[in-house]
Structure 1
Amino acid sequence: MPKVMLAFPEGRHKVLTMSYDDGKAADRKLVEIFNRNGIKGTFHINSGMLGEGDRIPKGEIEELYRGHEVATHTKTHPTIARSPKEQIIDELFEDRKNLEAIVDYPVRGLSYPNGSYHQYIKEVLPFLGIEYGRTVHSSGQFSMPDDFFEWNPTCHHKRDLLQLTETFINLHKTQYIYMMYVWGHSYEFDLDNNWELIESFCELAGGRNDIWYATNIEIVDYMNTFKHLKFSADSRFVYNPSATSVWLNVDERIIEARGGKKTNL
């Protein structure tokens, strides 16, 4: 029986993803830095506050975040763990609908406003069409989450970012898969006067052949596609019922299981 393990696209064993909240003006500069270095981000936006103060206006959202992911951060940024269920549902579902009218694709991700969530909120999210929830609890680790509705990032960009990046880059054991997940608020680079931090990070982490650069939802979709693969009992072949490929490490060989196809292993 062959030894089969999940790999990331093209056989990579590391993934980098970024997550930034509130949709403020500094996102313009952050997106430009990401684009220049081939890094993808997820931007969590409050649709009920677009254009207020220094927040990105509605008419700029689609173009600015093209190639990245727009996700919900609730409509008006309440501390939802203290909110009645009716408000929780309204804040999340209305934000989805408003953002989808702008970007024209299903909005399926969430970062918890003020880091606020509890078990009931996690349980209701699938019924609202939301497939992950990012917390503010930095793990300092590079592991995949056990629970995408309690998705703890590796670090805030203020926490040992470059040191953690060096560690991540040097991870070489291909029997494991690794994820580095960085979060924050773009306006913090203005407040701290340290745009050079994210510039250095992106130059260091970007453009590497062994790293998959993905949005939050791309990681969720890929992991779900892997879970839905149909393996034969002896793992000699696999059928992929989805439309997208999954890469597998089979006895140290990288094999692409194409969407809609049976693949011999």
Structure 2
Amino acid sequence: MNKIYKVFPGGKFKVLTFSYDDGKIEDRRLVKLFNKYNLKATFNLNTGIINPEIRIPQEEWTELYAGHDIAVHTLTHPTMIRLNDYAVIREILEDKNNLEKIFHRPITGFAYPNGSFDSRIVDIAKSVGIKYARVTNDRYAATKAAENYASSADGPIPIGDENGFFMPDDYMRWVPTCHHNHNLIDFGKKFMALTKKQYLYMMYVWGHSYEFERNNNWEVIENFCEMIANRDDIWYATNSEIVEYNELFDRLEFFSDNEYVHNPSVKSVWLAVNNDTIIEVKGGETVKL
């Protein structure tokens, strides 16, 4: 029987994505940089906060963020776990409605403001059409915490595999790889060096564009983008593209003997058959494997 493995578009096994919050005016420079190097990002916006001195006016959003992803960041950026259910619903759903009216497309992503969430917030977000949500912790922070604990405990603590470049178990509690101030270049070099194609790897970078201006370190993201762009083994995707692609794969209909597969979706899905043969299964096709 054939062994079938999921691969990313074009048969790639690595994906890079970015997530940036708040829609501050420094997004203009960051978007220009991403566009220069053909990189994809998700921008998490608050539609209830209007401050043209520090935030990009909403009338600029559709042009500025064209080609990138947009996600909910709540209406007014509250600490969510302190709100009652009605306020949580309002914060998420009104921001979602406003964004969909501005961008004329479904908005299904979310970034928890201030990193504040619990199971109640997750359930409410899912109930109003949110498919994925990013937290503010990251693999780097978890690694350092584990290292600090292990230094005073009886031995090392497992913190993940392959430096944390793995796909999430729960997209509603999506943990990034690193903040851009957390050894970004070193993470990028380790990511580029990964070669074991029997795995899928993801590097997920998050932050706020205003931090580059505040810390006077734009060179961090500029050097990273130049280093990691335009590689033929990396899929450059937005958050929602990653989620959508996984949904496409999950909808594939395999024959019981794994000799054929039917793709009931409109978009293509790629498979690795017996590790070495890459097959594109186009929308509506039934393909012999």
Name the structure 1 match of 2:278. Answer: 254
Name the structure 2 match of 1:80. Answer: 80
Whether the 8 Å contact between 2:73 and 2:111 is mirrored in structure 1 is yes
CA distance in 2, matches of 1:204, 1:83: 42
Gaps of 5+ in 2: 141-163
Whether the 8 Å contact between 2:267 and 2:282 is mirrored in structure 1 is yes
Identity percentage of aligned residues = 50
Name the structure 2 match of 1:68. Answer: 68
**CA displacement 1:87-116 (0-9 Å, x = unmatched):** 000000000111111111111100000001
Residue 184 in structure 1 maps to residue 226 in structure 2 = no
CA distance in 1, matches of 2:255, 2:211: 50
CA distance in 2, matches of 1:3, 1:43: 37
Whether the 8 Å contact between 2:8 and 2:14 is mirrored in structure 1 is yes
Name the structure 1 match of 2:254. Answer: 231
CA distance in 2, matches of 1:263, 1:117: 43
**Higher gyration radius (CA):** 2
**CA displacement 1:211-230 (0-9 Å, x = unmatched):** 00000000000011111111
CA distance in 2, matches of 1:260, 1:125: 32
Which amino acid is 1:80 matched to? Answer: M
Deviates more, 1:200-209 or 1:122-131: 122-131
Whether the 8 Å contact between 2:165 and 2:201 is mirrored in structure 1 is yes
How much does 1:52 deviate? 4.5
Matches within 5 A, 1:52-67: 52-67=52-67
Matches within 5 A, 1:1-265: 1-140=1-140, 141-251=164-274, 252-265=276-289
Q: TM-score, normalised by structure 2?
A: 0.90
CA distance in 1, matches of 2:259, 2:102: 45
CA distance in 2, matches of 1:48, 1:26: 19
CA distance in 1, matches of 2:284, 2:79: 43
Q: Is the partner of 1:176 in helix, strand or coil?
A: coil
How much does 1:137 deviate? 1.3
Q: Is the partner of 2:248 in helix, strand or coil?
A: helix
Which amino acid is 1:175 matched to? Answer: Q
Q: Is the partner of 1:153 in helix, strand or coil?
A: coil
What stretches of structure 1 move > 4 A for 4+ residues in a row? none
Whether the 8 Å contact between 2:269 and 2:280 is mirrored in structure 1 is yes
Equivalences, count: 265
**CA displacement 1:166-206 (0-9 Å, x = unmatched):** 00000011101100000000000001100011000000111
User: What value does the CA root-mean-square deviation take over the aligned residues?
Assistant: 0.8
Gaps of 5+ in 1: none
CA distance in 2, matches of 1:121, 1:245: 33
CA distance in 2, matches of 1:75, 1:44: 11
Q: Is the partner of 2:48 in helix, strand or coil?
A: helix
Whether the 8 Å contact between 2:88 and 2:124 is mirrored in structure 1 is no
CA distance in 1, matches of 2:228, 2:50: 31
Q: Is the partner of 2:197 in helix, strand or coil?
A: coil
